[in-house]
Structure 1
Amino acid sequence: MTLGIKTVLHTVSDLDAAKTVYTALLGIAPQTDTSYYVGYDTGAQHVGLVPAKDGVAAPVTYWAVPDIAAKVAELTAAGATLKEEPHDVGGDRLIATVTDADGTVLGLLQDR
């Protein structure tokens, strides 16, 4: 079971230029603004901007789950490939990524 999509990360080639566009789109200033991550909390969603790397050029949706280790195990047993082990990204949040059979990246997050 998931708790729905909570976070969407957009990879961008120019973080400052993207920040200007997303600030205009969302109508709020970012709550997190660093050289490696810009994040906006809007409603029940979190929209993040990250520098493009690892060939991922599409948004990655992060599904909220109550137990990230169990969900990674369930997904890999179902045929997904582990891309990024669960790890702490601060603020009592764990994230991980897997890919489906077509290479689509699926993000998972657990708030502790």
Structure 2
Amino acid sequence: MSDSPVRGIRTVLHPVSDLARAKAVYAALLGEEPRTDSSYYVGFEVGGQHIGLVPGGGPAGMTSPVAYWDVPDIEAKVAELTAAGAAVREAAHDVGGGRLVATVTDRDGNVLGLIQDR
């Protein structure tokens, strides 16, 4: 069915209202200190997955956690999803280091994240 299969969930981003408090809770949950720790983003690497904390939902205005599915061709997967009825919420764009992300919504408004490393 797909020329661009998913390789599993690689990243889950959580919007938080208080980054310092959230960082303490997630560090206790995961048993690790964050690998990325800035005023606009805190990221943990655990069990091959990235768990990120985004204050205020970040520029995309997230209101709930978003899982990012690892795909080899983000443009092809966005096209496939929109052909199936999804709507583009955030077009594919580079977030640094050659990493591309995009989000779409399914027909019920659930946000699906896609991520591709070049």
Q: Shared fold by TM > 0.5?
A: yes
Q: Per-residue deviation at 1:90?
A: 1.2
Alignment-derived partner of residue 39 in structure 2: 35
- Paired letter, 2:7: L
Q: Tell me the distance in 1 between the aligned counterparts of 2:72 and 2:33.
A: 29
Q: Residues 84-110 of structure 1: CA distance to partner in whole angstroms, max 9, x if unpaired? A: 011111132110000000100000000
1:9 aligned onto 2:13: yes
Runs of 4+ in 1 over 4 A off after TM superposition: none
2:98 to 77, 92, 99: 92
Q: TM-score, normalised by structure 2?
A: 0.90
CA RMSD, 1 decimal: 1.1
Q: Per-residue deviation at 1:15?
A: 0.9
Q: Per-residue deviation at 1:10?
A: 0.6
1:80 aligned onto 2:83: no
* Structure 2 alignment gaps of length 5 or more: none
Give the share of equivalent positions with the same residue, in percent. Answer: 67
Q: Tell me the distance in 2 between the aligned counterparts of 1:3 and 1:38.
A: 24
Q: Tell me the distance in 2 between the aligned counterparts of 1:68 and 1:3.
A: 12
1:57 aligned onto 2:59: no
Q: TM-score, normalised by structure 1?
A: 0.95
1:44 aligned onto 2:54: no
Q: Per-residue deviation at 1:56?
A: 3.0
